[in-house]
Amino acid sequence: MEKKVVASLDLTDRENLLNLTKKIKNEIFAVKINWPTILSCGVDVISDLSQYARVICDLKIADIPNTNRMIMEIIRERGPFAVIAHSFQGMDSIKALMDASESVKVIGVVSMSNQGASRYLNPLHDRILNDLKEVSVYGIIAPGNDYELLGEIAKNKDGLKIFSPGIGAQGGSPVSALVNGADYVIIGRSIYNSTEPVNYVRTINEEIEKISN
């Protein structure tokens, strides 16, 4: 069975990051890293991690097309699985990412898991989702701690893969998120703050298997 957990490892120590990835690599779908990791460890940490697991670069890129293209060209040389980008700046910017991506997949942000997203971003989720479907991105970000919103998005995803943050520390349940339409659940602090991260992820996988049978 394909693993459904994406480990969001926002660690700033390269050795700790690599060691944790090695420990949990067989229990996860991918590792997700954000700006704190890349700024602390350097962009080549993407290549280092890619030796052990798929790497999703959570850069939430949100710039003009030319800048987006330049960012993708730099990142893709390090061999990530996917890059996360914002969508509100327009589909010309998303298309620029995709044109430069080669084998790297693009995941567009439709909505986010923090409370503040309810003011500007989340009310536009339907329009953003429709735009992203038109340009055929690989996947989308939708909250795993707002099951009603997640369910609305899942009904209209048309084959796009849903990656859901907000699990664990932000209140979402991995099983509930998957039941309500997520394809993968993104879990961070609950993994890397655990004294036994392998067992923690393994327990989640066992819970997920129960709803899949």
What is the domain count for the chain? 1
Q: Which structural domain, as residue segments, surrounds residue 180?
A: 5-212
DSSP-based three-state secondary structure for 152: helix
Query: Where do the DSSP E strands lie in the chain?
Result: 5-8, 30-33, 55-61, 82-85, 105-109, 139-141, 161-164, 184-187
Predicted structure pTM score: 0.94
Which one from 3, 22, 25, 60 is the annotated catalytic residue?
60
pLDDT by 10s per residue, the chain, length 213: 899 999 999 999 999 999 999 999 999 999 999 999 999 999 999 999 999 999 999 999 999 999 999 999 999 999 999 999 999 899 999 999 999 999 999 999 998 777 777 787 777 788 999 999 999 999 999 999 889 999 999 999 999 999 999 887 777 899 999 999 999 999 999 999 999 999 999 999 999 998 876
Q: Which helix (H) or strand (E) covers residue 175, if one does?
A: helix 174-179
Query: What are 98's two structure tokens?
Result: 């995709």
Neighbour tally for 109: CB within 10 Å: 24
60 has catalytic annotation: yes
Report the CATH number at residue 173.
3.20.20.70
